[in-house]
Amino acid sequence: MRARKQILFIAFTSLTMLCAMASCGKSSKDVDKEVYAKVGDEVLLCEDIKALIPEGTNQNDSAAIAEAFVKKWITNSLIYEEAKKELGESEEINDMVEEYRKALIIHKYEQNLLDQKFSTMPSEEEMHIFYEDNQKLLTVSNPIVKGMSMKIPASKKNIDVARKMMRGAKEGDEDELDKWSLRNSSVFLYFGKEWTYLSDVTRNIPILSDYNTNKLLNTSKYLELRDDSFVYIVRITDYRLEGNIEPYEMAKPKIATLIINQRKKDFIRQLENDIYNEGVRNEKITIRK
């Protein structure tokens, strides 16, 4: 048994080499078409095995991948041969295969048409109109905020300076705050221009997770929290709670997807109607009355 396993391992270890050098003097294309294994009418080509091996895979790993694939292929082929003997020509299976083939071809045809026709994004005007008309579809699922935060070592004596800067900060002051933070071993995060999920802010300020964030946002836009190591200052300039209408700039990707998906549905529906009507006009359809 051990000798048999060793022989199999050597065979699979050199599998890719055998496939690559299957026949001296043959072109690469001819070598790829070399048959490595055969079960009944089913054949396994060298190129099928080579395609499984990621580039750069070492010899032992290549052998293991090839061995598992070949064994599975042979087993499936043998089971298929037995199943054909047992079941013979099954009209039910043939019908199922034909229905699947038909559905696959229709899907591929429709997908090709859709890819050609809907390769561009909707215009800003179209997205704005959709946003105004479909706001029930565009609600916030998790609270979002704009603002800034600073994490300051509790041992620092100039926390009052940071507090004053954060309270009085205006748009455009973020660079100055960032430079101050670097000089004072602090961490400054600015999210004043793009909407940010509150959960991302909480991830950077774990102590926030102990608070009811909805209540905090409704009562204060300036938060100052402290633990044993740090003082956290959070200034919120804008926010949307769960269930609020999503801001247009954040909703744009979703709006574009919804518009394109609806257009695709409308296009397929119209395509089916047109093809049906054309079939009627050209007398391609016969219906027993």
pLDDT tens per residue, range 187-246 = 999 999 999 998 888 888 888 777 777 777 776 788 888 888 899 999 998 999 989 999
* 218 lies in the same domain as 167: yes
Residue 40 confidence (pLDDT) above 90 = no
Helix H, strand E, coil C: the string for 210-279 is: HCCHHHHHHHCCEEEEECCCEEEEEEEEEEECCCCECCHHHHHHHHHHHHHHHHHHHHHHHHHHHHHHHH
CB neighbours (10 Å) of residue 286? 6
Q: What total of structural domains would you count in the chain?
A: 3
* 200 lies in the same domain as 280: no
* 12 lies in the same domain as 82: yes
- 246 within some domain: no
The distance of Cα 151 from the centroid of its chain, to the nearest Å, equals 34
Query: Taking all residues of the chain, what is their mean pLDDT, rounded to a whole number?
Result: 83
DSSP bridge pairs for 231: 152, 226
Residue 268 confidence (pLDDT) above 80 = yes
Can you tell me the distance from the alpha carbon of 289 to that of 286, in angstroms, rounded to the nearest whole number? Answer: 9
- 156 within some domain: yes
- 97 within some domain: no
- 3-state class (DSSP) for residue 152: strand
Choose among 268, 246, 270, 264: nearest CA to 122: 264
The parent domain of residue 264 ranges over 105-138+255-289
- 3-state class (DSSP) for residue 196: strand
* 273 lies in the same domain as 216: no
Q: Half-sphere exposure (CA, 13 Å, Cβ side) for 128?
A: 3
**pLDDT for res 21:** 41
Q: Find the mean pLDDT for residues 147-170.
A: 89
* 144 lies in the same domain as 122: no
DSSP secondary structure code for residue 110 in this structure: H
* 80 lies in the same domain as 165: no
Q: Provide the pLDDT confidence category of residue 41 given band limits of 50, 70 and 90.
A: confident
- 94 within some domain: no
Q: 């836009």: which residue's tokens?
A: 221
* 70 lies in the same domain as 199: no
- 26 within some domain: yes
**pLDDT for res 176:** 92
DSSP secondary structure code for residue 88 in this structure: -
- 271 within some domain: yes
Burial category of 240 from C-beta neighbours within 10 Å (exposed 0-12, middle 13-18, buried 19 and up): buried
Residue 12 confidence (pLDDT) above 60 = no
* 130 lies in the same domain as 145: no
* 160 lies in the same domain as 228: yes
- 204 within some domain: yes
* 236 lies in the same domain as 146: yes
**Dihedral angle computed from the Cα positions of residues 211, 215, 217 and 221, in that order, rounded to the nearest 10 degrees:** -80
Query: How far apart, in Å, are the Cα atoms of 259 and each of 106, 241, 268, 270?
Result: 23, 25, 14, 16
* 192 lies in the same domain as 230: yes
Can you tell me the distance from the alpha carbon of 146 to that of 284, in angstroms, rounded to the nearest whole number? Answer: 62
* 129 lies in the same domain as 263: yes
- 248 within some domain: no
